[in-house]
Amino acid sequence: MAIPLRFQLPALLVLLLLISTASAFDGSPTPSISPSPAAFLTPTHTYPPALFATILSTLGFQELSSATVTANLSATTPLTIFAPSDASLLTCPSCSLPLLLQELSIPGLYPLHFLQTLTFGTKIETIAPNRCLTITSNSKDKVFVNGVEITSPDVFNNGLVVIHGLQGFVSHLSPLSCNVERMTSLSFPSPSLSSMASPPPSLFIMRLMLKDAIIRLRATGYSVVSLAMRIKYAELTELKAMTVFAIDDTAIFSGGGNAYLSNFRFHVVPNRRLTAADLVTLPPSTSLPTLDAANNLVVTTGGGGGPSAPMKINYVKITTIDLLHNSKIVIHGLSSPFPHMMHHQPYSVEASSSSEIQRSSCSHFDWDRGICAAEAQVPAGMQSAVDLQDNRGL
Tens digit of pLDDT for each residue in 193-230? 444 445 566 777 888 888 888 888 887 888 889 888 98
* Most confident region among 17-31, 35-49, 129-143, 157-171 by mean pLDDT: 157-171
Per-residue confidence (pLDDT) for residue 189, from 0 to 100: 52
Over residues 55-65, mean pLDDT: 92
- Burial tier of 220 (Cβ tally within 10 Å: 0-12, 13-18, 19+): middle
Does 59 have pLDDT greater than 90? yes
Encode 339-356: b = buried (16+ Cβ within 10 Å), e = exposed.
bbbeeeeebeeeebeeee
Cβ–Cβ under 8 Å, residues 330 and 274: yes
Does 157 have pLDDT greater than 70? yes
382-384 and 341-343 strand pairing: antiparallel
Gyration radius of the chain over CA positions: 23
Phi (first) and psi of residue 210, to 5 degrees: -70, -40
Does 131 have pLDDT greater than 80? yes
Does 339 have pLDDT greater than 80? yes
Mean pLDDT estimate for the chain: 73
Per-residue confidence (pLDDT) for residue 236, from 0 to 100: 93
pLDDT in tens, 274-331: 998 898 889 999 999 999 988 899 999 887 666 567 789 999 989 888 888 888 999 9
Does 3 have pLDDT greater than 70? no
**Confidence band (pLDDT; 50, 70, 90) for 384?**
very low
> CA 346: distance to chain centroid?
35
User: CATH 2.30.180.10 region(s) of the chain?
Assistant: 201-384
Per-residue confidence (pLDDT) for residue 249, from 0 to 100: 86
Q: Which residue from 232, 231, 204, 182 is spatially nearest to 129, judged by alpha carbons? A: 204
Phi (first) and psi of residue 46, to 5 degrees: -130, 125
Looking at per-residue pLDDT, the higher value among 358 and 255 belongs to 255
Binning the chain into helix, strand and coil, the percentages to the nearest 5 are 30, 20, 50
**Confidence band (pLDDT; 50, 70, 90) for 76?**
low
Over residues 150-178, mean pLDDT: 90
Over residues 86-104, mean pLDDT: 91
Does 104 have pLDDT greater than 90? yes
* pTM for this entry: 0.50
Q: Which residue from 311, 314, 323, 322 is spatially nearest to 290, judged by alpha carbons? A: 314
Residues in the chain: 394
Per-residue confidence (pLDDT) for residue 245, from 0 to 100: 96
- Burial tier of 171 (Cβ tally within 10 Å: 0-12, 13-18, 19+): middle
Phi (first) and psi of residue 147, to 5 degrees: 85, -5
Per-residue confidence (pLDDT) for residue 376, from 0 to 100: 37
Per-residue confidence (pLDDT) for residue 290, from 0 to 100: 95
**Confidence band (pLDDT; 50, 70, 90) for 78?**
confident
Per-residue confidence (pLDDT) for residue 199, from 0 to 100: 58
Does 172 have pLDDT greater than 60? yes
Percent of the chain with pLDDT over 90: 25
Residue 153: partners with Cβ closer than 8 Å, 6 or more residues away: 1, 3, 111, 112, 143, 164, 165
Specify the CATH number of the domain 201-384.
Answer: 2.30.180.10
Q: Residue 154: what residue type?
A: D
Q: Residue 103: what residue type?
A: E
Per-residue confidence (pLDDT) for residue 375, from 0 to 100: 37
Does 383 have pLDDT greater than 80? no
Per-residue confidence (pLDDT) for residue 145, from 0 to 100: 92
Per-residue confidence (pLDDT) for residue 364, from 0 to 100: 47
Per-residue confidence (pLDDT) for residue 117, from 0 to 100: 85
